[in-house]
Amino acid sequence: MHIDWIDRAAAARAIGSGLSRRGFLKTGALATSGLVLGFVVPGANRFAQAQEAKVYAPNAFLRIAPDNTVTVIVNRLEFGQGVHTSLPMLIAEELDADWSQMRGELAPAGDIYKDPAFGIQITGGSGSIARGFNQYREIGARARAMLVAAAAEQWKVAPGQCRTEKGVVFGPAGQKASYGSLADAAMKQPVPATVVLKEPKAFRYIGKPMRRIDARAKSSGRQQFGIDFKPENTVTVVVARPPVFGAKVAKFDAAAARAVKGVLAVLEVDLDRGARGVAVFAKGYWPAKQGRDALNAEWNTGEVEKVSSEAQLARYRELAKAPGGAVARRADVSTLAGAPHRISAVYEFPYLAHAPMEPLNCVVDLKGDACTIWAGTQFQTVDQQVAATLLGLKPEQVTINTMMAGGGFGRRAVPSSDWIGDAVRIAKAYRAAGHAGPVKVVWSREDDIRGGYYRPSYVHRADIGIDAKGEIVAWDHKVVGQSIMAGTLFEPMMVKNGVDGTTIEGMGEPYALPMNLAVEGVKQNVPVLWWRSVGSTHTAYVMETLIDEAAHVAKVDPVAYRKKLMGEKHARHRAALDLAVSKSGYGKKALAKGHAWGVAVHESFGSVVAYVVEASLVDGVPKLHRAVAGVHCNQPVNPLSIEAQIQGAALMGLGMTLPGAAITLKDGVVEQQNFGDYVVARHHEMPQVEVHIVPSNDPPTGIGEPGLPPLAPAFANAVFRLTGKRLRKLPFDLASA
């Protein structure tokens, strides 16, 4: 997902200034005893209507129980990125807690859990730590101050005479009391109006490698994910969806489906994007799937557009070559015609599916005028509002319980709430047919891969002029593809003068370039969405392979060429690149015969990642052996999580290059169904990945997504040194290069 939806300066002021005293509250509703501390999100923000701050009991962020356990309510979705550990680390740091006593719990949908910068509850844009850094630390600091005040009152000493360490308050005369024993008394203390946060030199946990709180449960199979959850009397639902987006079912054999043992009901239902399909309700997944297979459904596809990838790309190429388009950036490119050196390139990028390990799933229980949902969602506020609208309820009548999720990469944050909305529509139809009880809608792997909301397909056209000194004197560029933001609640903020900001993010930066940039937005009957690192999935590839090509034309080392174009303004880029170069041995280490270096650097979500990679050809196929990352994400919170995120992002970035890593359509139908024909990177393709972090005490920036964009271009640049071929398409295709 994307972070640049908001004014960065405004967000920094909102987060960096901390929260006022009215922003904190105490509530005992989540625990019968102990200290319970939460805070209030002010109403003024970009996505919520301005209003006065309100107290939203019974929600809270922190619970200290009499047994000394400290439970942190995590207001984000945990789906592998590590917030279930990193956010509790922030509270533990300022609380001076004992790490062994820390616990994490995922927050339900609630106003109190809204992102203070966005005004909605959201996990995305690699922003959980960046936007929670001061927020969670202040909660820990205030709780610590209240515990100290309670102890000082009991011991009749000044709070300043007390100190804390690992969950214990110590008094001046040798007194000591555990946090658990003080929790009830601390609850009676006033919430401090202000607190002083620790300086980085005093950090005990922040910046240290911490093992994940949820690691043991996940590695032992005890962790419950959304797909595991099944309340009593739940009916499992599998849906026959139209093969072309937005189409409607024409006829189906309900009797054949009902004849399958375990099938309870077969209902025609409304689906996302105006489609209509068939829901099969059964006592478990297998009979529901068998019932769906027996439907022999036929579809009315005559009223919807049928996209074919081959024709689409041909059209995109023509649009890319044609003049016009919405202007994103103006520059004088009149010197192109007379430049002694020219680079003319057309790049093609396919649709990409998110394909998380855990397919989509959702449990909905309708009881009277209330709805309860269990789902691993990134978009609690939006999903809650969509569900309420579909049911004719108020948002507060819809409860969303956030479940642990097995991946997502943006697919669980859909502005239309397609998968949550479909589950609600199905539950509504089930109740209307006279049934009662919770329904669990489960997507198969095939449903997931063919179910839409892909990273858009794009075509880039670039014409670059380079003078006799090797300097870029003109760069004319056009991007063609679908807008992610158009038609969503984010359009007013992100689409300006016809240009979707996510389409061009990363274009040009951090280099001083005379770039003329235009965008041709195209509407297609293919649902599109952000995919891990959003626009940077294609813009970084284009920029970093073209800069590398310009360096080759100029006969300058690609690292030196990049640093010259950066100038002195981009210290973080230079630091990340220098670190990757130094740790890799680039320019100093002799590579094995048939191996070559590749370099790329890119900023996304406020962080800079540089890769120096080592690659070769194995039986004529590009093989990535080693990737050394230099990472500048400002203050590292948990280095182990940073390392894991870079490793995972690198593998996902590598996956974009593998033959078969593409979603294609023919006559409106997605041709891929499962991992047999939609390729994702697997363990045996994983290179050696080394992660090195630039030291910094500045407020942290994102890390979940920035590791992905520069991997593929670094690999492609190494392949050029091996083959002399510039790879203009993803996935890699040496034959057509």
Using one digit for the tens of pLDDT, what is the confidence trace for 505-523? Answer: 999 999 999 999 999 999 9
Query: Within a domain: residue 332?
Result: yes
**What is the C-alpha to C-alpha distance for residues 148 and 169, in angstroms, rounded to an integer?**
6
CATH code where residue 182 lies: 3.30.365.10
Same domain, 257 and 298: yes
Same domain, 477 and 621: yes
Same domain, 428 and 524: no
Using one digit for the tens of pLDDT, what is the confidence trace for 358-412? Answer: 999 999 999 999 999 999 999 999 999 999 999 999 999 999 999 999 999 999 9
Average pLDDT over residues 137-163: 96
- What is the three-class DSSP state of 472? strand
For residue 275, what pLDDT band results from cuts at 50, 70 and 90? Answer: very high
Same domain, 195 and 46: yes
Same domain, 247 and 389: yes
**What is the C-alpha to C-alpha distance for residues 381 and 414, in angstroms, rounded to an integer?**
11
For residue 39, what pLDDT band results from cuts at 50, 70 and 90? Answer: low
For residue 687, what pLDDT band results from cuts at 50, 70 and 90? Answer: very high
Is the CA virtual torsion 280, 283, 286, 291 positive or negative? negative
Same domain, 400 and 539: no
Q: What percent of the chain has pLDDT over 90?
A: 88
Same domain, 230 and 160: no
Q: How many Å from the N-terminal Cα to the C-terminal Cα in the chain? A: 31
Domain-terminating residue out of 217, 237, 259:
217
Same domain, 140 and 27: yes
Using one digit for the tens of pLDDT, what is the confidence trace for 185-198? Answer: 998 998 888 899 99
Query: Within a domain: residue 449?
Result: no
Residue 369 has which token pair? 């005028």
pLDDT of residue 193: 84
Residue 33 has pLDDT above 70, yes or no: no
**What is the C-alpha to C-alpha distance for residues 87 and 108, in angstroms, rounded to an integer?**
16
Backbone angles phi, psi at 432, to 5 degrees: -65, -25
Query: Within a domain: residue 307?
Result: no
Range of the domain at 239: 226-302+360-442
Q: Which residues pair with 39 in a beta bridge?
A: 24
Query: Within a domain: residue 246?
Result: yes
For residue 625, what pLDDT band results from cuts at 50, 70 and 90? Answer: very high
Same domain, 519 and 641: yes
Angle, helix 83-95 to helix 128-155, in steps of 10 degrees: 30
Provide the number of structural domains found in the chain: 3
Look up the pTM and report it: 0.93
Average pLDDT over residues 85-113: 96
Average pLDDT over residues 9-33: 42
Residue type, 463: D
Using one digit for the tens of pLDDT, what is the confidence trace for 581-608? Answer: 999 999 999 999 999 999 999 999 999 9
Residue 694 has pLDDT above 50, yes or no: yes
Residue 426 has pLDDT above 60, yes or no: yes
Strands 398-402 and 263-270: unpaired
- What is the three-class DSSP state of 203? coil
Same domain, 462 and 560: yes
Query: Within a domain: residue 515?
Result: yes
Same domain, 284 and 341: no
Same domain, 246 and 148: no
Residue 43 has which token pair? 């109403």
**What is the C-alpha to C-alpha distance for residues 358 and 44, in angstroms, rounded to an integer?**
36
pLDDT of residue 14: 31
Residue 663 has which token pair? 């979603």
Least confident of 5-14, 480-489, 728-737: 5-14
Q: What percent of the chain has pLDDT over 70?
A: 92
pLDDT of residue 317: 98
Query: Within a domain: residue 713?
Result: yes
Which comes out higher in pLDDT, residue 37 or 334?
A: 334
Residue 437 has pLDDT above 80, yes or no: yes
The chain-wide mean pLDDT, for the chain, equals: 92
pLDDT of residue 24: 61
Domain-terminating residue out of 409, 442, 475:
442
Query: Within a domain: residue 695?
Result: yes
The three-point CA angle 112-118-119 to 5° equals 35
pLDDT of residue 30: 41
CA dihedral 291, 293, 294, 295 (to 10 degrees): 90
Query: Within a domain: residue 396?
Result: yes
Residue 700 has pLDDT above 80, yes or no: yes
Average pLDDT over residues 665-674: 98
For residue 621, the Cα-to-chain-centroid distance in whole angstroms is: 31
Say which DSSP state 490 is in.
T
Domain-terminating residue out of 164, 183, 217:
217
* Residue of 357, 26, 369, 373 lying closest to 188 (CA atoms): 26
Count Cβ atoms within 10 A of the Cβ of residue 555 and give its class: 0-12 exposed, 13-18 middle, 19 or more buried. exposed
Average pLDDT over residues 728-734: 97
